[in-house]
Amino acid sequence: MKRELFALAILALGVIVFPAALFVYQARQTNAGDARIIELVANAPHNGGWTPDVIRVRAGERVRLRISSPDVVHGLDIPALGVHVDEILPGHVQEVEFVATRAGRYAFACTRWCSVDHWRMRGVIEVTDAANASRPPVTFAPPLYQQLGIDLDAMHFAHNIPPRRPSAARGAALPLNVRADFRTQAPGDVFETLRADVANRAFDDSQLWDALAFAYFQNAGSDALANGARLYARDCAACHGERGDGTGPAGRNLPGLTVMHPDMARGPANFTDAASMLGASDVLLQGKVLRGGMGTGMPEWGSLYADQDLWDVVAFLRTFTFDSNLGK
């Protein structure tokens, strides 16, 4: 009889105590004491997207997100709160903590392509601040394109297209200093101004474009290009293509401009199309990225990108028509 009881004890240990201990261990792992724990599951959009996709927290509350993925690799960015999780591997759990100080709504998004609908994988963190309810909410100035009254959906074509790809390196060597407000003036218009100026009669069209390209990238700065390249690779290349020609794998079934007229171009925009790109000012392009495409399939990035990020991406887009390399 004693042997039976001993055996029963061993069995109870293995079948009851052991699993119970595992669940208790998990309960303790997920109880962080001072932080509030929120389980955030990253599903590909066709499986439900972020779960939950609305997270409500209080201002000043320490929040710990436990992020897991059951299917593919995801990433998480909460730009306004400075949270960047580069990789959430399936079956792993990533933990990140943040404290939101002001009331408001903060967007978060997946940063690794997880399905063709990856760009839909977004959520919002709603921060309430009961103590400071009377504080006025953060207001943002309207985007530059709205201030300037620019119609984002109007056609924009440059009348003059460079004979060959403008090179900033060649432009650097030219004794020509181009001054222009690249933010509000389309490169095509800048070129017209340069061409009309009698002082530039000695230079041919190609040289004017080279000088224009050099001035543009000088104005933007190499940090901006690097940041733009990083953002483009992460968020844009999947649809617009690594070479900017609109043939990325995730963009294959998007309607593109056919929502405006069936005869217009399908799919993502082609940034190597000089006529279209050179006729668009930076503020126009920035507006399109910020606002999104109104049914074309182009997502809106205004809720996720800071102002500088938007200008950086636009600067990088120019490298598909201008060669920004200053080296040999």
CB 283 within 8 A of CB 311: no
Beta-carbon contacts of 123 under 8 Å, excluding residues fewer than 6 positions away, are: 49, 50, 52, 53, 54, 55, 107, 108, 109
| By the rule CB under 8 A, 84 interacts with another protein | no
| By the rule CB under 8 A, 73 interacts with another protein | yes
| By the rule CB under 8 A, 205 interacts with another protein | no
Q: Which of 48, 60, 70, 163 binds another protein (CB under 8 A)?
A: 70
Q: Considering the complex, state which of residue 30 and residue 101 has its C-beta at the smaller distance from another protein.
A: 30
Q: Tell me the closest approach of the beta carbon of residue 59 to another protein, in angstroms.
A: 27
| By the rule CB under 8 A, 113 interacts with another protein | yes
Between the CA of residue 224 and those of 182, 275, 310, what are the distances in Å?
14, 24, 10
Beta-carbon contacts of 164 under 8 Å, excluding residues fewer than 6 positions away, are: 206
- Angle ∠(133,138,142) on CA atoms, nearest 5: 145
245-284 footprint of another protein as x/- string (CB under 8 A): ---xxx----------------------------------
3-state secondary structure of 207: helix
CA distance 212 to 166: 8
Q: Considering the complex, state which of residue 90 and residue 221 has its C-beta at the smaller distance from another protein.
A: 90
33-52 footprint of another protein as x/- string (CB under 8 A): -----------x--------
Rg value, the chain, Cα: 26
Q: Tell me the closest approach of the beta carbon of residue 213 to another protein, in angstroms.
A: 25
Per CB under 8 A, residues contacting another protein are 1, 3-4, 7-8, 10-11, 14-15, 18-19, 22, 25-26, 29, 44, 66, 68-73, 89-95, 112-116, 118, 233-234, 236-239, 241-242, 248-250
